[in-house]
Amino acid sequence: MQIVSTIKDVKAVVKKWKEEGHTIGFVPTMGFLHEGHGSLITAAREANEKVVVSIFVNPMQFGPNEDFDSYPHDLERDSKICENLGVDLIFHPTPEEMYPQDFFTYVDMSVLTEELCGLNREGHFRGVCTVVNKLFNITQPDRAYFGEKDAQQLAIIKQMVKDLCMNVEVIDCPTVREEDGLAKSSRNTYLSPEDRGAALIVSDTISLGESLVKEGETNAEKLIAAMETHLKTEPKAKIEYVKVVDGETLQPISTIRPGVLVAIAVHIGKTRLIDNFSVRKL
Amino acid sequence: MQIVSTIKDVKAVVKKWKEEGHTIGFVPTMGFLHEGHGSLITAAREANEKVVVSIFVNPMQFGPNEDFDSYPHDLERDSKICENLGVDLIFHPTPEEMYPQDFFTYVDMSVLTEELCGLNREGHFRGVCTVVNKLFNITQPDRAYFGEKDAQQLAIIKQMVKDLCMNVEVIDCPTVREEDGLAKSSRNTYLSPEDRGAALIVSDTISLGESLVKEGETNAEKLIAAMETHLKTEPKAKIEYVKVVDGETLQPISTIRPGVLVAIAVHIGKTRLIDNFSVRKL
């Protein structure tokens, strides 16, 4: 496994691979890898001859009051995980390598970015679109892997690839959870032991929502009310949103049907947690 | 020569060419081809095994009061020109093919888009960046060819390719002029015979500017004043701007040096004309 930090070095490796006719799977990450990332890497490993993982905490997708400076990192640990999972190349650039002083371009999107997390994280998805677009151009993958936990990000990346006719297939992978149900996230490390207990309300509420839909609830307003009521049973939980939206356009809908995304964002102490489920069938 | 109108068809041809190991040169146009486009196609023909020309009047780069509806077109004539110049593939999509109803993504840029034509054509360069980005992804060229006449567009495309690490080399080609000096442009067809005479002031002023720099003028303010004075000798000319800027960042500069771009925009009757020269050496 190689670890490189410059765009030029990645492009040289990728060029060689392309000339040799290899397929490339790509997993973009912000590092501090957990089993969620592991599942993406494993999926990439199974379907492609070469696997690239990027580890880059992207400053452009963090707001001024967000956790860019405190975001956890451990390159040595991440490298071991990648090596064990059969990764061929880690791309670990500096912010200056990705955004030199004379960097002026951005990729953004209307509609999908204006709902859910977009309401409280202004500019977040512009940062995501820009960095992912750039990483796709650098690594030129046949397939790129994203987790369903970040459902809005996944929908936005798919939309960008479709709109700009990018030559990559976006593969979504199921959310990986702790034994008690909490969705895996690098941000879970922020949780104090007490907050970690309280955080369970998030995945519990997702389970509740899934059950209600399975039992026949098709009224989005009623589902939201039930999920909000359940979230409020945890005094430490501060609701940011509970939303029922179209899974592709992310626009609010009133009647639940297959293809609908039910997404929540909740603050537990200083930690912001998101979770969701998709309605596959009624 | 093939003429196709769907993205899918272009991608199929390009995929085959790539598999056969061919290099691809790409010339994006809005059609109504003239010798300026011809010089781009010829340059592409000389350096690449396959040449793709796109003909697409891009609605996204026209403002509400601009000439989208009246922009000239003649696909039959354009096809003959392309065939004679050895083009392999014309891509001629509909607006709906390029921008379906659920199209939400855009590519844009700060700094370079905020000067010169960007001041009076809001959203123009967002349209240019978005369509060129998409066309690059569709045609996947090794090299793409742009005219120096649209100097700001050229600088912006180069910046986009650099910032997003796109896998294409941008080649700039010299402005092609009529015998009397007027820069070739599809928009010259808008000029009445009388306006066509008056339009000569534009290229004349560029010649004057070049002479003054050659004679030793290094003060941008003085150069601008001399060029504006000259433009005002033509009663039909309405100056939009005369600017001296850095050729890469397009930011105004006060002392002329190699790498500087001198650009003008002038209205003759209802026709907006632009022209420019670059300072190569002092």
CB A279 within 8 A of CB A258: yes
B282 pLDDT tier (thresholds 50, 70, 90): confident
Domains A2-173 and A186-274 belong to one CATH topology: no
Nearest Cα to B247, choosing from B205, B208, B277? B277
The CATH classification of domain B2-173, taken from the options 3.40.50.1820, 3.40.140.10, 3.40.50.620, 3.80.30.20: 3.40.50.620
Q: B185 among the known binding-site residues?
A: yes
Shortest CA distance from A249: residue in chain B: B102
Number of A–B residue contacts, CB under 8 Å: 74
Cα of B38 to nearest chain A Cα, Å = 27
Residue A153 is inside which H or E element, if any? Answer: helix A151-163
Q: What is the ipTM of this complex?
A: 0.97
- pLDDT of amino acid B281: 85
Give residue A193's identity as a one-letter amino acid code: P
B102 and A249 in contact by Cβ < 8 A?
A: yes
Report CA-CA distances (Å) from A75 to A56, A59, A79, A204.
10, 17, 6, 32
Shortest CA distance from B138: residue in chain A: A165
Q: Which residues of chain A make contact with B102, given a CB cutoff of 8 A?
A: 248-249
Span A166-177, mean pLDDT?
98
- pLDDT of amino acid A281: 85
Span A83-107, mean pLDDT?
98
**Spans of all domains in chain B:** 2-173, 186-274
Q: Which residues of chain A make contact with B103, given a CB cutoff of 8 A?
A: 163
Q: Give the 3-state secondary structure of residue A125.
A: helix
Q: B30 among the known binding-site residues?
A: yes
Residue B255 is given by DSSP the state: B
The count of residues in chain B is: 282
Query: Is residue A159's pLDDT more than 90?
Result: yes
Q: Which residues of chain B make contact with A127, given a CB cutoff of 8 A?
A: none
Instruction: Name the token pair of A137.
Output: 């151009």
- Give the model confidence (pLDDT) of B107-139 as tens digits: 999 999 999 999 999 999 999 999 999 999 999
B165 and A137 in contact by Cβ < 8 A?
A: yes
Q: B127 among the known binding-site residues?
A: no
Kindly indicate whether the domain formed by B186-274 is annotated with CATH number 3.30.1300.10: yes
Cα of B262 to nearest chain A Cα, Å = 21
Nearest Cα to A7, choosing from A140, A149, A152? A140
CB A158 within 8 A of CB A145: no
Q: Which residue among the candidates B37, B92, B124, B230 is catalytic per the annotation?
A: B37
- Give the model confidence (pLDDT) of A198-246 as tens digits: 999 999 999 999 999 999 999 999 999 999 999 999 999 999 999 999 9
Nearest Cα to B143, choosing from B40, B15, B53, B44? B44
Cα(A199)–Cα(A270) distance, rounded to whole angstroms?
Answer: 12
Query: Is residue A282's pLDDT more than 90?
Result: no
Give residue A11's identity as a one-letter amino acid code: K
Q: Give the number of C-alpha atoms closer than 13 A to the C-alpha of residue A188, restricted to the C-beta side.
A: 22
DSSP string of B14-39, one letter each residue: HHHHHHTT--EEEEEE-SS--HHHHH
Please list the active-site residues of A.
Answer: 37
The alpha carbon of A57 is separated from its chain's Cα centroid by a whole number of angstroms, namely: 13
Q: Which residues of chain A make contact with B133, given a CB cutoff of 8 A?
A: 164
- Give the model confidence (pLDDT) of A10-53 as tens digits: 999 999 999 999 999 999 999 999 999 999 999 999 999 999 99
